[in-house]
Amino acid sequence: MREIVTEILVIGAGPAGLSAARSAAEQGANVLLVDNSHVSGGQLVKQTHKFFGAVRHGAGIRGMDLARKLTAESKREGVRFLLGTSAVGRFAAGLVLKDAQHKLVLARAQRYVIAVGASERGVAFRGWTLPGVMTAGAAQTFLNLHRVSIGDRVLVVGSGNVGLILAYHLRQAGCDVACVVEARDEIGGWAVHASKIRRLGIPVLTGVAIEGARGQGRISEVTLRSLHRRWGGTWRLNVSADAVCLAVGLSPRTQLLQQIGCDLAFSAVLGGAVPIHDRCMQTTVPGWYVAGDAAGVEEATVAMEEGQLAGLSAAHELGYGSSRSYERKKAEIRSFLDELRAGPLSGDRRAAKEKLCLSRSG
């Protein structure tokens, strides 16, 4: 079995992992970045729309271009990449990986950053196993990576940012979007995304759920059902569609963190079981850090800041950088995190994060 030794091992090359690797390498640490995909960037590579907000977070840059930018910056700082490689599990000798040739690799590091993102949730309804039903991530992979249309007329379930952005991507790809369906009373995503698809004539139906789907060999029709009296009573509506995309939430990927013995806590607003960590992103297992959606589902901008904080803290623990510089940079990152969680839709997540953080945080 081949062995790899590094000072800091980062698992996951999405926005959090790339930011963590770059941040640690900037301090002078030897960093290896591992990802099971053959392309770095995580979900960013599927994002064709431009980000907005602060320049620090890629405002005005398309997600796929931001992935290239973060990758290039990491490589300039000396980060080594091991793509097409997945983490099998932790053993006494170290972390076992499986590389692109399906060969096992033993990786040993002094510090670890877990930035493996989140898993998509599904929802069961009558006919949900018919061809044409898929998650939002699968749809974006077909559309934005492989340039394959998923259907002529598509219905999107879920009005969070993922669902709203997906509806926009579908229309850009030439698909007719029947509607976006949301079971809650209000749209879950940002108003800027909702306004964008409404200007395209795509309706967003709140207080409405998908009840079933039917078709011969593939979906051809979907039944919707009202959930609230404000619609004038319960009704059912049949909608023509040959594809249904499920954007019904994400859950942190915690399997590896559980295996190493990291303590977890349940937080509905952060996606479910979440690793307990301090304000420097270190878990309850010394030397193991977490960042991004694996630490609680939020936005890509938050993932980048958490990644920077985790990488910076891991490097500082190994003796890189002065204490004065570390404290200044740490305070700057925390300030940006507070700002990103200051919006009206982020209050619950901010409170959940504060509850998760350990009292011993640095």
User: Domain map of the chain by residue range?
Assistant: 2-119+250-356, 122-246
Question: Average pLDDT of 292-312?
Answer: 95
DSSP E strands, the chain: 2-11, 31-35, 80-83, 86-91, 94-98, 104-114, 118-120, 133-135, 153-157, 176-182, 204-206, 208-214, 221-226, 236-240, 243-246, 250-252, 264-267, 272-275, 288-290
The overall pTM is greater than 0.85: yes
For residues 250 and 50, the model is more confident at 250
Question: Average pLDDT of 208-214?
Answer: 95
**Averaged confidence pLDDT in the chain:** 92
Lowest mean pLDDT among 35-39, 203-207, 339-343: 339-343
Degrees (nearest 5) of the Cα angle 3, 4, 8?
150
Q: How confident is the model at residue 359 (pLDDT cuts 50, 70, 90)?
A: very low
pLDDT at 69 over 80: yes
pLDDT at 52 over 70: no
pLDDT at 358 over 70: no
User: What pairs with residue 31 in β-bridges?
Assistant: 8
**Which CATH superfamily includes the segment(s) 122-246?**
FAD/NAD(P)-binding domain (3.50.50.60)
Question: 2-119+250-356 and 122-246 share one CATH topology?
Answer: yes
Lowest mean pLDDT among 59-63, 276-280, 301-305, 335-339: 59-63
**Which CATH superfamily includes the segment(s) 2-119+250-356?**
FAD/NAD(P)-binding domain (3.50.50.60)
Query: pLDDT digits over 120-146, tens only?
Result: 999 999 999 999 999 999 999 999 888
Q: What residue has token string 């061809």?
A: 131
pLDDT at 228: 72
pLDDT at 349: 82
